[in-house]
Amino acid sequence: MTTRRRRRAPPQPPPGGLLDWRDASHWSWTPKPCRYCGFDTHLRDSRRSPAHKVCAEEALARQVAEAADAYQNGQL
């Protein structure tokens, strides 16, 4: 009997395409440079790295587009 591998569906952006950063864990009193643009921010991503919400959303959208493109080209 042969086993069949299913292809995973390409990654999807969060509903509405926006991240929910209302939780207090995304805030720090100490401003640090954003990991994407370099300007100071009080915001932290889920890994506690400094990042503006807009910068993180743009990076996520870029990653999703690259993964979907790789999926379409059979690279995943």
| Domain residue ranges of the chain, discontinuous segments joined by + | 24-72
Q: What is the pLDDT of residues 22-50, one digit of tens each?
A: 889 999 999 999 999 999 999 998 889 99
Neighbouring C-beta atoms of residue 42, cutoff 10 Å: 13
One DSSP character per residue, 6-31 reads: PPPPPP-PPGGG-----SGGGEEEEE
Q: What is the mean pLDDT of the chain?
A: 83
Q: Report residue 72's pLDDT band, with 50, 70 and 90 as the boundaries.
A: confident
Predicted local confidence at residue 55, as pLDDT: 93
